[in-house]
Amino acid sequence: MRAVVQRVTQASVTVAGQVVGETARGLLVLIGVEAGDSEKDAAYIADKVAGLRVFEDDAGKMNLALTDVDGGILAVSQFTLLGDARGGRRPSFITAERPEAADALYRKVVAAWRARSIPVGTGVFRAEMQVHAVNDGPVTILLDSRKLF
């Protein structure tokens, strides 16, 4: 499972002109599920994101996690994170999980954050979405449950 995590001052996702999910200060998390991912991968991503110390403390150091700053998450499923463009100019998505299984694991990640009382807004799985974000810093972290990078 892969995730792109951006520290944001605000983020929202729109479907058909309607805002369906948003957060103020917090994290925008784009999530891609890879074929063969399991609940273990979902737990890894959920735990890692919840504990990332990417918010500044009083000394200006990134020492604080999401819960330390009362932040929220906007979670957006994005299979294109599994795109492989090494062999040409058109990305291949053959390593992306099938939609039904991907949606189930994506929901496990979201449920894990909500179980920690983290406010979570979401996109709409498989919908055409517009994501708007104000990246803070900018701070962007790449995560992979298989630790490929």
Q: Could you give the count of Cα atoms lying within 13 Å of 89 in the half-sphere of its Cβ?
A: 0
DSSP 3-state percent helix, strand, coil across the chain (nearest 5): 25, 40, 35
Quick check: is 78 catalytic? yes
Spot the catalytic one: 80, 95, 130, 140: 80
Three-state secondary structure call for residue 49: helix
Quick check: is 130 catalytic? no
Quick check: is 125 catalytic? no
Report whether the peptide linkage leading into residue 138 is cis, meaning its omega lies within 30 degrees of zero.
Answer: yes
Spot the catalytic one: 6, 14, 23, 79: 79
Spot the catalytic one: 6, 14, 23, 78: 78
Sign of torsion, CA 34 40 44 45? Answer: positive
Which helix (DSSP H) or strand (DSSP E) does residue 45 occupy? helix 39-51
- Residues recognised as catalytic: 78-80
